[in-house]
Structure 1
């Protein structure tokens, strides 16, 4: 019995048809007034779009919102008589066509079986639309060829209605002239024995063979005139419960045949045009074979028509190249381009070369030809021999390029002096564009028009002219120009044009003037320079000095001009001075530092830069660096003190410049890394650091380090033997020898890192153990849940009396089983959800959730429990919040757990659910007036299996998983949860869900 019930329940829940159990409601007179929904299966929910928990126990008149119960009298008749019925209807409320089967197992009760036939109805309607609107005559005829049914095209063709056509034979209905010629009608006329329409239909009836596109022509009486029409006949036999019939379709192709005839005439015309055309014309099929070549093709391609036709363009003894002689790419041939892109190509140029060396340059235009279905079929191409044209074009192009690339302005005019050509340099020189300058007279380009007229006449008398003069630009700017102008003669020696070459010499003229001034300016520069300048001859004697030199050395100019370079240096520097002078004589330049003695016997230092001038003269530039030398000595002493301190430091010290090059290390750094000091000073910091690449800006940390900053970093350093050790480095930026460097204090932290690694490993092991525990709980919970679901399901079926009536004692025990099973299932579900989250197997399925509906469902679900304790449930939401994007089921689970807990721990007062904005996030709060939470317990309540009253005398039931699960579900949404409470003052649980 139980197995049969389980099987029925499985079929009931999984079948595709919607099933609904009803009970008729009678008034006091025994008249049916409504019916009540007892139960529905999932398929019924899907078909009508109503949820089971919304309709079970409800009256049909309320559910369907029609004011009365649909089909009440039909249903009541079945319920009273037990006679099954079936009908089809359109439910406008659901927008669906439904087939409804009604049966009655017991009086006053009935079952409806809903089958969704919407798609079937839609297909039927679509086929009917196609049948009615297809542009061909369609008739259904019986074995006597009399019409049973026709479509709209048949009505339009005949000019009559379908009612008038039904019962007639086809020729009579369509007004075939042959059928009208005999009183007996269609099939009995003089020519009817040969009628393909009649014979095809009869053959289909007799043999059962269908025919397709049988072509024939018949005369018809249309609008009072006789017209011969050509059409295609198709027939198809239909066998059903009635007598067999044949579907006859007639497609009028008269116009198509006329068009084809005209096309044949046009084809003949164009073939004659192509054959007489002086242009080479070829046709290539889709396989690349030349199928047609006109007479001109023989001259252009150098082959006879028989040699051309039947082969591919590239399957000839010639070689196809570009104009430079390189092999022409096959993919760029016109046939390939047109076939690939299926659109015309123009002026595709290449050359063909025969084995004997003969060569032709060709220009090809090609276009695709498509068949009636729009498919690519062939290519038509015109080929032009442009060999002679290209040679002339190249010559002209070379001449034009030569003129255009000239740095000189070149212009050509006619014999009257009006410009016909000007190159780019001319446009730049006279500040015109091409359109403006052409057509102007040559006299408009000179400052003085009368001078230009004289040149013009001189040119005509003598044939050429050259000179310097003044010209002016479009904007009136005057400049110096050198002109060379000649008459241009044709092959017979007759003048035909004037050509001129012009050079802007304004800068040259300016340079000549500036050169005159430069000598004086140079003298002024030397005399006023703050740098000491000496000029000496090849013997080292001073021949010129500037005032600054006199000031530096303390002698007058006359005194210095009587001295030699040796005279200004101390005795111990004479040899050095002589070596420097010898280098200057040998190389023509020298740079050096050396001491000198002033007139008052003061020892100072200068930097000397000297170079050779003309006529064995040498000029030297000196700068006094005595103060700099003193500072350098002080720096050297400071560095000695720095080196002493760093060598005694307890940490390894490494300094490098901003390119990463190591500039200083102490002994401890050398000892730790295993390198000598010389080796390290020749290396880059990237050579010893595992994380730095001096060529990768992302790893160069010191770029952003300011002088006042310090930077602590952990890294790995590479020893000379290739091993690594962890180090903590404190970095700072200092000045060393006048440049900024990065100073690093390096401390080895191997022992510390080992301790950290041990702690991390311990943490990972603990997390792995926790995850294994969660997975075990999930597996165990799943195994428990499966049989428990069956217990709850079967007890529910028994309680509902589906397997027979129960006595009160049985109902009591089964209710306890059912409640206990559901309580245990809730516990297992919490454990399962929590373990899935902790094992990373729980996923969110976010959607747009209605806030008003969510709160309505929450209040309805919790109200029965709250009303038992006399508690008030309040909902306070910001009306601007209509939706939230979240996992609907999990958000409902969060709120239900919090509100259920609030009701459970509240004996009197109220529970309030609030929702408001918190910046761009949504803030939910559940506030109760219950027992509150002690301060020392508030940090524990979100832990798994933790409860406020966890002792043996617990007052409140529960698993201790609800708040732990809530916290994890909130965090999965990217939010957070917290509690505010005082003991005996109530609690406020708040959580934030981000808006998105």
Structure 2
């Protein structure tokens, strides 16, 4: 440029010179205007940033390594309890930290070259000496050589959040402690234990000392389980009448939790009844009583703790209900055992009576029947005597005596058989019994009875031999009862007996054309002393025990008996007994072809 200024100056038109000077002046002016505009832009940005800083809820700050805190917004000043940012900036930064070690830790982080601080939790000190918890975040602004120029950042007051977290943690600890300890409450085995565990739970897990359980007895709520610490607050520990005007009684009557924040101001109670206690929560335990938690401080039992106390009360009520039901069941069981013992004694007495009856009635009956038969035989040999009319009359009398004795003997045998079957005194064997042979045998024994009434006794056998796994004596009882009943209750027609076999059963069917009965009354036939014809005016003789004996015998032989009947048309009895081989083993059902 110096070189340019040293060369000869050419002749220039004045207008051109003026124009050049004007251009230079304009260029210089434009440059100054650009600088002014840029400065104004920065100033506007700073103003905008300052406005933002003043309108956020977090505390915004700037500090330098040498000067300390050089900027803070109003929110930061408020956070530390100062009236303005200017007052805050005059404070020594070290005085703002409640934990000096934390400040040293922060400085160490910065010396290590950390560029950002993200969410560091620090306890700060306010102007009045109180503390709060802040969450500090910031950025380190460095020069080209890496030297820290200043620190920009923000502080968020998280004191309330920390208090909430602490409260939640305390609640969680309480819940876990109650959850663990509640198991002992649920396993309580007596009302006394429920009261004791309930009192200890609230003391140990919730920390309340004024705890008591009252159970309803004789119209009052008596303090049966009281924490030792209650004695210093409430030395008398009175019993409250259920119908009286007290918080305890009201909670019991209404079945709702009663919260009394200040017992001194409660209109329902006499404060003297509660000693030094000032607040209480009373939880009902159903019909069993109440559970109360008190404190010498008004309003000391919070909402959350009240809810936990209610939960404990609910658990206690469930346990008390269970214990009450168990007591009822125990009493019922004891009564049932006493009734069973009486029934066993009665059964023994019945067995003894039946044994005596067997001896005291059967023996003379046998003699009577025997003598009647002897008289009948003697009369037959004397029929050629002159006084034949008297002999015929004696013959009739001997016949009646024999029939009556036989009827009594049959009744006695039926009653004895039923009694022995019910008591298990008759043990039915499991052997191969030929139903065909046994049916023919019994039918021939009873055929004379059918012929006397002009009835047909028809036998239909599907095979020469059909084996059932049964007891021969039991089959004899079943056949005699069914065939004799069929003959007895049939006036016209006859009795058909069929024996056949299915895949699994040996089947005996006895069908008559007798009086029958209403189908809905059919099951009653198998009850002892029940008949198709009943009452003093009944037409047919018999004790009504035979079919009951039949059913018992069939069931003890693993079989079943069914009946189909219709009034005026007759009845059909079907007995099914398990099939078997000749060795008495149950006969296996053949598998379908192609299957193993």
Normalised-by-shorter TM-score class = 0.3 to 0.5
Higher normalized strand content (fraction of residues): 1
- Normalising by the residue count of structure 1, what TM-score does the alignment of the two structures yield? 0.27
TM-score under structure 2 length normalisation: 0.42
> Which is helix-richer, 1 or 2?
2
Q: Which has the higher contact order (CA 8 A, sep 6+)?
A: 2
